[in-house]
Structure 1
Amino acid sequence: MNKRELYDSFEELEKQTKFTLSQIERIKAEMGKVIEKNAELEIENQHLREHLHEIEQKQKGNKEGTELSKSRKNLEKLYEEGFHVCNVDNMYGSRRVNDEPCVFCQDVIYGDRH
């Protein structure tokens, strides 16, 4: 290999190195953007998980507050089958006319009892 070929080889190697360096810089910039976006998404994901947890806790609290006892569930089932569960005028167990709603029955099932 003569001096000219050696010099040309070095120039070609320099061009390739510069091209590779520019590719590395471009990839590095893209990687920085990806890492930044990933960090943003992780933070957003954490906030969404916390928000979901809060909502689930509220719903759990609401369910616990509105959950019927076993006896009230039985009364509700009887009521849905068309029978009175209230004791107004000794109507307990009698058929509701045309399955019309009865506020007294609903009070027995869903009303506050202290």
Structure 2
Amino acid sequence: MSEEYSSDNLYEQFAQVMNQTQDLVKKMEQLQAKIIAISEENVELSIENKHLRQMIKEKQPHHSENQLSGSRQNLKELYQQGFHVCSEYYGKRLEPNESCTFCLDAIFGHEQGMTK
């Protein structure tokens, strides 16, 4: 009878572990659902935040001497990466610590009311 008792005890232990495992799986599924909901909300808020920043930026007064148009901003970024953006040397690499008056004029000249 001791063998039968130990078999019953073993079955009870197995059933208990099985129940604990099922409870753990349920809790993990609940946590996963919460994580997904929070992640979705985070993405939505990030997009909304980006749109609101863009709206604020559009509503702020523009100062032409401080702000460049999109195309001039692109030229400025290329120039900062070390490439000529002037018509004379366009696309050629700048030497280290080199500046180019033609490039600066192409980027900032017309924005500051200067003409060629």
Q: How high is the TM-score relative to the length of structure 2?
A: 0.46
Higher RCO, 1 vs 2 (CA within 8 Å, ≥6 residues apart): 2
Q: How high is the TM-score relative to the length of structure 1?
A: 0.47
Going by fraction, where is helix more abundant, 1 or 2? 1
The structure with the larger Rg is 1
